[in-house]
Amino acid sequence: MTRTVEVEHEYAYDVVVLGGGPVGENVVDRVRAAGLTAAIVESELLGGECSYWACMPSKALLRPVLARSDARKVAGLRESVYGPLDALEVFAHRDEVVGHWKDDGQVDWLDSIGVRVFRGHGRLHGPRRVEVTGPEGERHVLTARHAVAVCTGTRAVLPDLPGLAGARPWTSREATSSGEVPRRLAVVGGGVVGVEMATAWQALGARVTMLVRGGGLLPRMEPFVGEHVAEALTARGADIRTGVSVSAVVRDGGTGPVTVVLEGGDHVEADEVLFATGRSPRTEDIGLDTVGLEPGSWFDVDDSLRVTGSDWLYAVGDVNHRALLTHQGKYQARIAGAAIAARAQDGKAFDGAGWGPHAATADHAAVPQVVFSDPEAGAVGLSLAEAERAGFRVRAVDLDMRQVAGAGLYAQGYRGHARMVVDLDREVLLGVTFVGPGIGELVHAATVAVVAEVPIARLWHAVPSYPTLSEVWLRLLEAYRG
């Protein structure tokens, strides 16, 4: 038995970052580029949730699923791709994408830019101080001259249900890292994680049952999106049950089949059950009480990502609950890094004209997202309901994607839908939503139009190439003009 050793070392840096995921990495990259010294604290793998248990492994699982689905809609090719997916080969590629759950490459990169890595659990210990307890019990005390940035992200939430703790449920981590295909998979939740993992595991051979408390899938997007995705999943054999709630989970001895008991007495038998029912901030044990904040809470921040009421503490990425998406977290990290550097140099992060490049304005009304379901779904900005609740005078312009010439070339029997939400007073776009095969690559054009508030009169002169899916823009503008 190894004896725990406690040794205290003290260090000082300009910036200390708690959390070595993509958000924390981008913060230290920006402050180092500005000439500040930086240290990063990580208790697991550098690269974080996205790299090892979320974005990257999930998309590695989904890529062959979507490619096969697209190929089956192409004349002359479909007959060649009706065999099953090779699950072992898919898993091998997934494992390669995540570096076999090793972070050597991230360590080398951080070393190359002069960032000190501290392995262990980091906690705030009063203003500008972070205590790190290492894997052998050693203790380091880090002092930040200018800023501490909390980039600890979120973790999956498991509901308090009888029997759940002993049933070994899957969360997003197990769903993206498993090396075996369950014969039957129950998915609790109809959001992005639930939909993507149902899509992946169904295609890999699992019989999927989705248990959704609400009235449909992907409830944060336009209603037609969930309808398209549910119809496609059902057509491929999924059992989607909406308006149901789980009351208990039973797995005798923690092995064998699992029984998911529903309110009302019905039940579902499965070999694994995935709970995709939300996320909570990883802030319960990072010393928030030592700086007057509530452990386990989300942070309230300004547009430079500085915590309200503080002149040194920043909260970047998922922990501030502004937009729980990796690309938005990295965007925030670039803003926060620039703001920290500016304040370190001249005491402020803005000029007389306003916040300029040091303000995370995209988090308010221009957040893009792609769901890698089959069909894909993507959106940016406000939905029709959100725009109406915000008090805008709006019009929704809808289009069946089959009216686009490129859709018929992309896939025979193409089915999809597009909507743009127009601010009628300014004639600019407030939001755009797509659902259909291959639409993920359309979302950034929509993001530019929404962020830049490009007038519709000017969009007429952004001519889409023929015959591509991008011609949807021409058809939407024609529908708007009537």
Quick check: 67 pLDDT over 70? Answer: yes
pTM, full prediction = 0.94
pLDDT band at residue 83 using 50, 70 and 90 as cut-offs: confident
The answer to whether 208 touches 233, Cβ cutoff 8 Å, is yes
pLDDT band at residue 291 using 50, 70 and 90 as cut-offs: very high
How confident is the model over 407-446, as pLDDT tens digits?
A: 999 999 999 999 999 999 999 999 999 999 999 999 999 9
How confident is the model over 455-466, as pLDDT tens digits?
A: 999 999 999 999
Cα 255 → chain centroid: 31
Q: How far is CA 138 from CA 95, 251, 293, 405, in A?
A: 32, 40, 26, 64
pLDDT of residue 357: 63
Q: For residue 458, what is the enclosing H or E element?
A: helix 456-459
Mean pLDDT of 231-249: 97
pLDDT band at residue 1 using 50, 70 and 90 as cut-offs: very low
Cα 216 → chain centroid: 20
Q: Cα(177)–Cα(156) distance, rounded to whole angstroms?
A: 15
Q: Cα(138)–Cα(11) distance, rounded to whole angstroms?
A: 14
pLDDT of residue 255: 78
Quick check: 2 pLDDT over 70? Answer: no
| Start-to-end Cα distance in the chain | 77
Mean pLDDT of 216-230: 97
Q: Which residues are CB-neighbours of 234 under 8 A, at least 6 positions away?
A: 240
pLDDT of residue 482: 79
Residue the block writes with tokens 């998911």: 260
Q: Above pLDDT 90, what percent of the chain?
A: 91
Mean pLDDT of 318-327: 96
Q: Which long-range CB contacts under 8 A does 290-294 form with residues at least 24 apart?
A: 290/123, 290/124, 290/125, 290/126, 291/124, 291/126, 291/127
CA 95, 101, 102: angle at the middle one, nearest 5? 125
Mean pLDDT of 122-130: 98
Q: Above pLDDT 70, what percent of the chain?
A: 96
How confident is the model over 341-388, as pLDDT tens digits?
A: 999 987 665 544 444 567 898 898 899 999 999 999 999 999 999 999
Q: Collapsing DSSP states into helix, strand and coil, what is residue 144?
A: strand
Lowest mean pLDDT among 249-253, 307-311, 322-326, 354-358: 354-358
Q: Is 251 exposed, middle or buried (0-12, 13-18, 19+ CB in 10 A)?
A: buried
Cα 408 → chain centroid: 31
The answer to whether 190 touches 216, Cβ cutoff 8 Å, is yes
How confident is the model over 172-209, as pLDDT tens digits?
A: 999 999 999 999 999 999 999 999 999 999 999 999 99
Quick check: 306 pLDDT over 80? Answer: yes
**Amino acid in position 371:** V
Q: For residue 97, what is the enclosing H or E element?
A: helix 87-97
DSSP-assigned letter for residue 50: H
Token pair, residue 219, equals 């409830």
pLDDT of residue 4: 52
Q: What domains are defined for the chain?
A: 8-47+103-155+281-362 (3.50.50.60), 165-277 (3.50.50.60), 375-481 (3.30.390.30)
- Between 295 and 5, the higher pLDDT residue: 295
Q: Cα(415)–Cα(225) distance, rounded to whole angstroms?
A: 12
pLDDT of residue 252: 81
Residue the block writes with tokens 């007959």: 79
pLDDT of residue 350: 55
Q: Cα(314)–Cα(342) distance, rounded to whole angstroms?
A: 14
Token pair, residue 433, equals 């939503």
Q: Cα(144)–Cα(124) distance, rounded to whole angstroms?
A: 11
Quick check: 5 pLDDT over 60? Answer: no
